[in-house]
Amino acid sequence: MRIVTWNVNSMAARLDFVLDFLQTRSPDIVCVQELKLPDEGFPHLAFEQAGFRALTYGQAQWNGVGVLVRKSVDPEPLIVSTGLPGHEPMGSRLITVKAAGLSVTSAYVPNGKTVAHPDYKAKVAWLGGLADFVEKNLDPNGHTILAGDFNVVPGDLDTWDPVGHVGAIFHTDAERGPLERLRALGLQDLFREKNPDLQSFSWWDYRAGAFHKKQGLRIDLVYGSKSVVSRVREVSIDRDFRKKREGRIPSDHAPVIVDID
């Protein structure tokens, strides 16, 4: 089974791109973020025709998360919960579904802007709330996956410039603390688990030719419980889908692909 996380930066703007990905890479479950669509505006028909069911928690203009499930692996996936209790003013950023015998959570962590900005404190609080949510609601002894755009660089290997970014947004101890809590709660970073020494980024700024200069960050993460870790065959980041395809503009994030037995 192939499980993916991908911040698409507008599902409306990226629809053809995403359908191309489903066709080309044949994933079974895709956690998506930054839909930028209200649920009533989601293009369900296009995904149904592509053989997928989409479970979404969206809002107008910003944020929005979802899980796409291939109908042949589970014709009746279910939404278990939406939203992060106590943090609703931050927008639609969390959805948990039950699909193909797995608990799958798609998360879009607030960006935070800069460490001096009030949004940074709210981001750190949201991350703490996420760890609380995992502790209360997700089962470390089950088949559990938590994937999404964390807007946090887990370690020095995950940034193109560890020296220049010391203490900078995405790189602070306060943001990394909640990721350590996830580990303590039994969830492991599957990419790093399978590729201990590999530098591979999942996000590059649209500006300044960052992609071609290899100035990226690994901020899109897939966490799995112990039983998932034991089933993982390979984890990779699909740089090809950060490139223009047939003149179409990509998201600023690349899909992270996890293959499990």
Partner DNA sequence: ATGTCCACTAGGAGTGGA
Tokens (6 digits) for 86: 């106590």
Please check whether residue 252 is in contact with residue 206, taking contact to mean a CB–CB distance below 8 angstroms: yes
Q: How many residues bind DNA (CB under 7 A)?
A: 18
Please report whether residue 78 would count as binding DNA according to CB under 7 A. no
Please report whether residue 10 would count as binding DNA according to CB under 7 A. yes
Residues 194-233 touching DNA, rule: CB under 7 A, are 206-209
Interface with DNA by CB under 7 A: which range of 5-13, 20-28, 65-73, 153-161? 5-13
Please report whether residue 249 would count as binding DNA according to CB under 7 A. yes
Of 94 and 187, CB closest to DNA: 94
Dihedral over Cα of 146, 150, 155, 161: its sign: positive
Residues 49-68 touching DNA, rule: CB under 7 A, are 60-62
For residue 3, which of 72, 50, 68, 96 has the smallest C-alpha distance? 68
Cβ of residue 149: shortest distance to DNA, in angstroms? 8
Cβ of residue 250: shortest distance to DNA, in angstroms? 8
For residue 169, which of 207, 119, 214, 226 has the smallest C-alpha distance? 119
Residues 91-120 touching DNA, rule: CB under 7 A, are 110-111, 113, 119
Cβ of residue 57: shortest distance to DNA, in angstroms? 16
Of 166 and 206, CB closest to DNA: 206
1, 2, 13, 44: which one contacts DNA (CB under 7 A)? 13
User: What 3-state DSSP class applies to 246?
Assistant: coil
Of 117 and 233, CB closest to DNA: 117
Of 36 and 192, CB closest to DNA: 36
Of 127 and 232, CB closest to DNA: 127
Task: Report residue 4: phi and psi, to 5°.
Answer: -130, 150
3, 5, 6, 9: which one contacts DNA (CB under 7 A)? 9
Of 119 and 132, CB closest to DNA: 119
Alpha helices in the chain (DSSP H): 11-25, 44-49, 118-137, 173-184, 190-194, 226-229
Please check whether residue 153 is in contact with residue 170, taking contact to mean a CB–CB distance below 8 angstroms: yes
Q: What angle do the packed helices 173-184 and 118-137 form, to 10 degrees?
A: 0
Burial of 238 (0-12, 13-18, 19+ CB in 10 A): middle
Of 43 and 51, CB closest to DNA: 43
Taking CA atoms, 47 is separated from 6, 16, 93, 94, 219, in Å, by 16, 11, 21, 21, 26
Cβ of residue 77: shortest distance to DNA, in angstroms? 25
What residues line the site for DNA (CB under 7 A)? Answer: 9-10, 12-14, 36, 60-62, 110-111, 113, 119, 206-209, 249
